[in-house]
Amino acid sequence: MKVQDAIALIVAVGILGVLLFLVWALTYVAIPEANSNAVTVLLGAVSANVGAVVNYYFGSSATSKAKDDTIREMSAKP
């Protein structure tokens, strides 16, 4: 695994962890009324980033990366 792939994986797991924590907090922790809007906005922003992570790993970015790797391997052969 390349360093760049490892960093992307760490960021992806971190964002998913933050989303899970926010959902847990909204479910089980009493959030003060003054902060409830901020937490809801934060949940929306993190959810959008989770969508970006899923699109990166399972969407066109993954297939494009695989294509680029194949082209690089084919061009390296004599």
> Taking a C-beta distance cutoff of 8 angstroms, is the pair 11, 3 a contact?
no
Structure-token pair, residue 57: 């790993």
pTM of the model: 0.65
pLDDT given for residue 28 in this prediction: 93
Q: Give per-residue pLDDT as tens, 12-45.
A: 889 889 889 988 988 899 989 898 899 889 989 9
> Taking a C-beta distance cutoff of 8 angstroms, is the pair 35, 63 a contact?
no
Taking the C-alpha atoms of residue 57 and residue 12, their distance in angstroms, rounded to an integer, is 9
> Taking a C-beta distance cutoff of 8 angstroms, is the pair 68, 44 a contact?
no
Taking the C-alpha atoms of residue 69 and residue 27, their distance in angstroms, rounded to an integer, is 43
